[in-house]
């Protein structure tokens, strides 16, 4: 069994929605529904479910759970289908076998990848859509059940049936269709169930700015820092992630980030040698790693990684060879846009912090803020 609401290694319960009755007798490619979730660090709360009501003659409609009059609930964040969209098609019911059947696809509406912890590695358990409740007959008689589940596991209760989508879905990507079969007695008229989607979600962290050489009166051991940008839809807590740089002799030991640092969607965090702005040149540092990293004023590499099972997966890595470009006295190196390939800090996707971008006493850079070199 998996524990899915645990800090750091938590898998995300993405949306919840409810379906009732003959869910797609009315049309193909019909959204099954969706819901919202807090853009908050783990553990994730499911903030909103959707009730969908239908009948065997092809009626189906959805509304936020509890909003029986159809008014949108004020607590909804983002509205329906914000994070994941499920779509049904090819609906049929066989009154002899009593199998109610339809195809379901999953679409990822997040910036970050779904079904992967890092955008590259496949979640071995896949994206799982599970039955939080139901299927339950809501009018008529009889007992409904899931007929062809891929498996049963403990999510929000024991022995909940689920369907697996064993693939990585990038932003906006739609999964292959999967045929779901429910056993619905012919004596039933309508039925209901509630689904959640559970999956690993990529941490879309970008090393966005680096000060390798503080210069002036600020020493390297006090004044080095780098900035991380969260390009994902969800906040990411850096606690438990690992950072490392290189040494002349090769790789240096990983440093495990040991305290909570939540980076909001579209937000920044600064990791520096020292947090004291009196000695670090004036950068507001969210997390101090001490002497664990030392960014050479010649050539070096820096990465941030995620522990995943027995592996350590690199989330992002940058390197530089040119002291004249990437280790100038008191001038940070800025990525022009977080979406650009940032692997080579000496390259044209990076630029020097502007002479107008001053922080602290004399440093040039934009710690915890959009880069001065930013290009939309």
Contacts with Ca ion, residue ranges (CB under 5 A): 209, 212-213, 220, 227, 245, 294-297, 300, 366, 371
Q: Which is nearer to Ca ion, 295 or 315 (CB)?
A: 295
Taking the CB of residue 36, how many other CB atoms lie within 10 A of it? Answer: 24
CA 305 to chain centre: 15
Taken in order 159, 198, 269, 249, is the CA torsion positive or negative?
positive
- In the 8-state DSSP scheme, what is residue 327? S
Helix (H, G, I), strand (E, B) or coil at 111: coil
Distance between CA 335 and CA 373 in Å, rounded?
Answer: 7
Query: How far apart, in Å, are the Cα atoms of 198 and each of 16, 31, 32, 339?
Result: 10, 18, 16, 26
Q: Which is nearer to Ca ion, 277 or 297 (CB)?
A: 297
Shortest Å, Cβ 211 to Ca ion:
8
Radius of gyration over every alpha carbon of the chain, rounded to an integer in angstroms: 25
Q: Which is nearer to Ca ion, 81 or 230 (CB)?
A: 230
Distance between CA 329 and CA 240 in Å, rounded?
Answer: 32
Shortest Å, Cβ 306 to Ca ion:
21
Residue of 265, 81, 102, 92 lying closest to 174 (CA atoms) = 81
Q: Tell how strand 268-272 and strand 287-288 pair up.
A: parallel
Nearest-5° Cα angle at 51, 48 to 56: 160
Shortest Å, Cβ 85 to Ca ion:
33
Shortest Å, Cβ 245 to Ca ion:
4
Q: Which is nearer to Ca ion, 38 or 294 (CB)?
A: 294
Helix (H, G, I), strand (E, B) or coil at 223: helix
Q: Which is nearer to Ca ion, 19 or 269 (CB)?
A: 269
Strand partners, 231: none
Shortest Å, Cβ 300 to Ca ion:
4
- In the 8-state DSSP scheme, what is residue 298? S
Shortest Å, Cβ 257 to Ca ion:
18
Q: Which residue is nearest to Ca ion (CB)?
A: 366
Taking the CB of residue 366, how many other CB atoms lie within 10 A of it? Answer: 24
Q: Which is nearer to Ca ion, 112 or 209 (CB)?
A: 209
Shortest Å, Cβ 320 to Ca ion:
11
Q: Which is nearer to Ca ion, 65 or 294 (CB)?
A: 294
Distance between CA 254 and CA 241 in Å, rounded?
Answer: 10
Shortest Å, Cβ 311 to Ca ion:
23
Q: Which is nearer to Ca ion, 53 or 210 (CB)?
A: 210
């Amino acid at each position: 069994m998996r524990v899915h609401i645990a800090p750091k290694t938590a898998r995300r319960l993405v949306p919840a929605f409810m379906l009732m009755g003959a869910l797609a007798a009315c049309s193909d490619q019909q959204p099954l529904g969706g819901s919202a979730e807090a853009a908050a660090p783990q553990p994730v709360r499911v903030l909103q479910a959707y009730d969908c009501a239908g009948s065997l003659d092809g009626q189906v409609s959805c509304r936020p759970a509890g909003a029986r009059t159809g008014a949108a609930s004020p607590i909804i964040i983002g509205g329906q289908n914000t994070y994941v969209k499920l779509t049904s098609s090819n609906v049929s019911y066989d009154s002899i076998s009593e199998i109610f059947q339809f195809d379901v696809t999953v679409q990822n509406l997040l910036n970050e990848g779904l079904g992967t912890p890092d955008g590259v590695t496949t979640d071995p358990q896949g994206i799982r859509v599970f039955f939080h409740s139901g299927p339950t007959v809501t009018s008529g008689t009889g007992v409904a059940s899931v007929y062809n589940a891929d498996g049963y596991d403990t999510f929000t209760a024991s022995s909940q049936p689920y369907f697996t989508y064993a693939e990585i879905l990038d932003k906006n990507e739609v999964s292959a269709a999967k045929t779901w079969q429910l056993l619905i007695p012919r004596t039933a008229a309508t039925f209901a169930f509630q689904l959640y989607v559970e999956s690993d979600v990529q941490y879309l962290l970008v090393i966005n700015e680096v000060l390798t050489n503080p210069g002036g009166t600020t020493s390297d051991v006090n004044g080095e820092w780098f900035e991380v940008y969260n390009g994902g839809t969800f906040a990411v807590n850096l606690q438990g992630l690992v950072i490392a740089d290189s040494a002349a002799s090769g790789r240096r030991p990983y440093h495990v980030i040991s305290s909570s640092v939540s980076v909001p969607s579209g937000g920044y965090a600064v990791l520096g040698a020292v947090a004291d702005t009196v000695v670090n040149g004036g950068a507001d540092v969210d997390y101090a790693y001490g002497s664990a990293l030392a960014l050479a004023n010649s050539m070096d590499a820096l990465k941030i990684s995620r522990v995943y099972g027995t592996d350590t997966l690199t989330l992002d890595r940058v390197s530089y060879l040119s002291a004249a470009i990437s280790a100038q006295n008191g001038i940070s190196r800025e990525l022009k846009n977080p979406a650009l390939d940032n692997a080579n800090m000496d390259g044209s996707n990076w630029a020097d912090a502007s002479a107008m971008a001053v922080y602290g006493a004399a440093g040039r850079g934009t710690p915890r803020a959009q880069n001065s070199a930013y290009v939309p």
